[in-house]
Structure 1
């Protein structure tokens, strides 16, 4: 099993990416924490073991003129391009939503704005081990030991949410503490 960065390093990188993207916006914009999560990694595409986590944060950006949201999307997408992010989903102009992945470290970032004048920026880490290395496995039982009872099957792993496959994503009311992205 491969080592990863630690949860703390992932948290720091999530925050650094958000701060970097935010720096592309004009004053008097401010960041207001919306959600911060530590979620069990359930991405079946990486074929990795359980016990790893994704670290994410989403901030509401306050103090922006909603009439200029399209300009702000362009400013942040330019910042992404200069920091090795590739835009994977661009739902504009129908939905004010962008999703990008860093080609070097697989961190994801997203932008979401709505007709209520809300603007959000978020980042999510790839799957990481809490301490950067897999947890030690229990030692194997000696040959003379009685056989262990059959373990219960592991619960089915939920697939990692696709960037735009959420049918209700555009229906989320971001003004009342909707889900993180």
Structure 2
């Protein structure tokens, strides 16, 4: 397992990237905190050990004219491209959303706007160890003392038996359906 930056370094870098995106916007733009998260890395595609965390923050950008949101998107995307970010998702014009990843350090950023005139910018770190180095329990989990057996193969389900015998069309037509017969 390799070391990472610390949580605090990840938090600082998230803030630096958000400030950088803000610098691409008009001078009237201001940051208003929206969310800050520390989430455990549980994505199975990560294939990494547990005990690491993603650090993220999202800010609403106030002071922008919604009529100029397309130009604001372009300005942030240009800032990203000049700072090693690659756009991975651009949902415009259907949705006002763009997502990018930094090719150097794997930090993610996104910008989103909505019909209510709100504009958001967010950044998320890759998975990091709280102190930058693997935790002792993660090191222990990486080197199991004995091999773990593969889970048993599930037994095939038995074929279902019908609850009742199929109805023969001939019998159906010959049945007396009047109440004069047997009552149940």
TM-score range, shorter chain: 0.7 to 0.9
- Secondary structure of the corresponding residue to residue 19 of structure 2: helix
Mean alpha-carbon deviation: is it higher for 24-33 or for 40-49?
40-49
- Secondary structure of the corresponding residue to residue 72 of structure 2: helix
CA distance in 2, matches of 1:106, 1:139: 23
CA distance in 1, matches of 2:138, 2:113: 47
Aligned residues: 140
| Alpha-carbon contact 2:99-2:109 (below 8 Å) kept | yes
The corresponding residue for 1:74 is: 74
CA distance in 2, matches of 1:139, 1:108: 27
The corresponding residue for 2:144 is: none
CA drift of 1:45 comes to 1.9
The corresponding residue for 1:144 is: none
| Ranges in structure 2 where 5+ consecutive residues have no aligned partner | 141-184
CA distance in 2, matches of 1:112, 1:27: 19
Report matched runs for 1:42-57 at 5 Å.
42-57=42-57
Q: 1:50 to 1:15 in 2, by over 3 A?
A: same
- Secondary structure of the corresponding residue to residue 136 of structure 2: coil
CA distance in 2, matches of 1:99, 1:137: 34
CA drift of 1:137 comes to 3.5
Does 1:83 pair with 2:89? no
| Alpha-carbon contact 2:33-2:59 (below 8 Å) kept | yes
Q: 1:87 to 1:138 in 2, by over 3 A?
A: closer
Q: 1:101 to 1:138 in 2, by over 3 A?
A: closer
The corresponding residue for 2:60 is: 60
The corresponding residue for 1:112 is: 112
CA distance in 2, matches of 1:125, 1:43: 14
Q: CA RMSD in A?
A: 1.4
CA distance in 2, matches of 1:103, 1:112: 21
- Secondary structure of the corresponding residue to residue 93 of structure 2: coil
**Structure 1 residue ranges, 4+ long, deviating more than 4 angstroms after superposition:** none
- Secondary structure of the corresponding residue to residue 37 of structure 1: strand
| Ranges in structure 1 where 5+ consecutive residues have no aligned partner | 141-181
CA distance in 1, matches of 2:71, 2:99: 16
| Alpha-carbon contact 2:50-2:138 (below 8 Å) kept | no
Report matched runs for 1:3-152 at 5 Å.
3-137=3-137
CA distance in 2, matches of 1:48, 1:80: 27
Whose radius of gyration is greater, 1 or 2? 2
